[in-house]
Amino acid sequence: MDRIRIVGGEKLNGTIPISGAKNATLPLMIASLLTEDKLVLENVPRLADVIQLQRILGNHGVDVMIAGKRAGADANAGRTIELSAATIADTTAPYELVSTMRASFWVIAPLVARMGIAKVSMPGGCAIGTRPVDLLIMALEKLGAEIEIEGGYVIARAPNGLRGGEIKFPKVTVSGTHTALMAAVLARGTTVIDNAAQEPEVGDVADCLNKMGAKVSGIGTSRLVVEGVARLNGARHTVLPDRIETGTYAMAVAMTGGDVLLQNARPELLQAALDVIAQSGATVTTTNEGIRITRNGAGIKPVDVTTAPFPGFPTDLQAQLMALMTRAEGTSHITETIFENRFMHVQELARLGARIQLDGMRATIEGVKKLKGAPVMATDLRASVSLVIAALAAEGETIVNRVYHLDRGFEKLEEKLGRCGARIERISG
């Protein structure tokens, strides 16, 4: 099993290209099930989750073609993939595939919308709380689907097609909003989705659906209105840049010091996080090429943050911020409101010398003058990269184990950091 070795103490200087957003790519790929025509996605990141979803979609009969390299093309540019679901070969998503990634459960919406039936295993994925599918099921029921749960599978039936309806989520849910959108676009009549997630990735999927012939309005707001259409066509769509990757590298620079341009990053996608990074003492500058992060000489200042749905501070950057705050000159507080059990990185950061106390969903971080390298273990995707951030500033050597978590969500992490001066390498086997 691969590990990552980091020798801390080096400042980061240079340019890091930001990849396409994983959290938009996965639902965009799943949307290919809604049409017989070809869906072309550009700026797709090279991630383990993308490869796994290709396998899952292949099980349903989707042909996936990855465009080859072209002469003179930017080596850091995302890939272009073509997805063609001309014929749905199977409407069952089996446990052995779905259990590896939660997002694969979303295939239930386009399958029942297009084929009138779907049988999908209950999902797996990161162990950061229960994250139940009850709101996704509720959304499908509001559109006329008959739901049955049997043997660990959710079976959705709509033999006469789905019909428009009113969906009001009791809490903001990205997965529920994706599911409702993909079900509603082919439903007869009008669907209103209230308390919809406003995350940029949801808007990116809605934009793509509109390119495919859907009629979605209210994009970027908490109220989406969908006028159902009889069929969708193919389209070409470029995945938006990954705001979580952007924030992660921004915090890495704030941690180590230095000067890095986050190429292709868009500040409006993570303004709340950029504001917090600025409060911590780094300088954040927007340029025509992206976002520049610098910290030269100034200490790290403590901050108090509560995670919240977009446009608030993202839960997917909570672990990274905690790593940054371990070296702050004072006491910081982070309150997690989105997922329970999302502080599993705390005990691993403590192995590096961090001083963190937990009280339910609130963490108190007392900054220390130095961290010391140690062997640590990644517990989930975002927690694993928080250990990398801490290790970059720690004295001596840190070995991060279970890096397959990192490969799920960060493209060429060692290469991107290494080009900016980090002493980081992957150890295979």
Query: According to the model, what pLDDT value does residue 196 have?
Result: 98
Query: According to the model, what pLDDT value does residue 1 have?
Result: 83
User: 59 among the known binding-site residues?
Assistant: no
DSSP code at position 103: G
User: 132 among the known binding-site residues?
Assistant: yes
User: 134 among the known binding-site residues?
Assistant: yes
- The reply to whether 22-238 shares the fold of 3-19+241-427 is yes
User: 327 among the known binding-site residues?
Assistant: no
Query: According to the model, what pLDDT value does residue 229 have?
Result: 98
Q: At a CB cut-off of 8 Å and minimum separation 6, what does 129 contact?
A: 339, 340, 341, 342
Asked: is 22-238 a CATH 2.40.128.260 domain? The reply is no
Report the SS3 class of residue 238: strand
Least confident range of 64-73, 305-314, 334-343: 64-73
* pLDDT digit string, tens, across residues 357-378: 999 999 999 999 999 999 999 8
User: 69 among the known binding-site residues?
Assistant: no
Query: According to the model, what pLDDT value does residue 73 have?
Result: 63
Query: According to the model, what pLDDT value does residue 129 have?
Result: 42
Query: According to the model, what pLDDT value does residue 101 have?
Result: 85
Least confident range of 118-127, 196-205, 316-325, 395-404: 118-127
DSSP code at position 240: P
Between residues 232 and 297, which one has the greater pLDDT? 232
Least confident range of 189-203, 262-276, 312-326, 402-416: 402-416
* pLDDT digit string, tens, across residues 124-164: 544 434 447 899 999 999 999 999 999 889 999 999 999 99
User: 47 among the known binding-site residues?
Assistant: no
Query: According to the model, what pLDDT value does residue 71 have?
Result: 58
User: 46 among the known binding-site residues?
Assistant: no
Query: According to the model, what pLDDT value does residue 228 have?
Result: 98
* pLDDT digit string, tens, across residues 90-99: 999 999 988 8
Query: Which of 341, 408, 402 is CA-nearest to residue 103?
Result: 408
Give the mean pLDDT of 10-39. Answer: 98
pLDDT class of 69 with cuts at 50, 70, 90? low
* pLDDT digit string, tens, across residues 292-335: 999 998 899 999 999 999 999 999 999 999 999 999 999 999 99
Question: 3-19+241-427: which CATH number, 3.40.190.10, 3.30.1130.10, 3.90.79.10, 3.65.10.10?
Answer: 3.65.10.10
Least confident range of 22-31, 163-172, 176-185, 400-409: 400-409
Give the mean pLDDT of 262-286. Answer: 98
If you average pLDDT over every residue of the chain, what do you get? 94
Cis amide leading into 314 (omega within 30): no
Instruction: Find the radius of gyration of the CA atoms of the chain.
Output: 22
Domain spans in the chain, listed from the N-terminal domain onward: 3-19+241-427, 22-238
Residue 73: how many CB atoms within 10 A of its CB? 10
pLDDT class of 72 with cuts at 50, 70, 90? low
CA separation, residue 386 to residues 204, 210, 245 (Å): 27, 36, 12
Question: Catalytic amino acids?
Answer: 126
203 has a pLDDT exceeding 90: yes
Spell out where 336-427 has E strands. Answer: 355-359, 362-366, 375-377, 397-401, 423-427
User: 110 among the known binding-site residues?
Assistant: no
Residue 332 forms beta bridges with which residues? 365
Query: What is the percent of the chain where pLDDT is above 90?
Result: 85
The phi and psi torsions of 79 (rounded to 5 degrees) equal: -80, 160
Q: What is the pTM of this model?
A: 0.95
User: 293 among the known binding-site residues?
Assistant: no
Q: At a CB cut-off of 8 Å and minimum separation 6, what does 262 contact?
A: 16, 18, 246, 249, 250, 290, 291, 292, 293
176 has a pLDDT exceeding 80: yes
User: 401 among the known binding-site residues?
Assistant: no
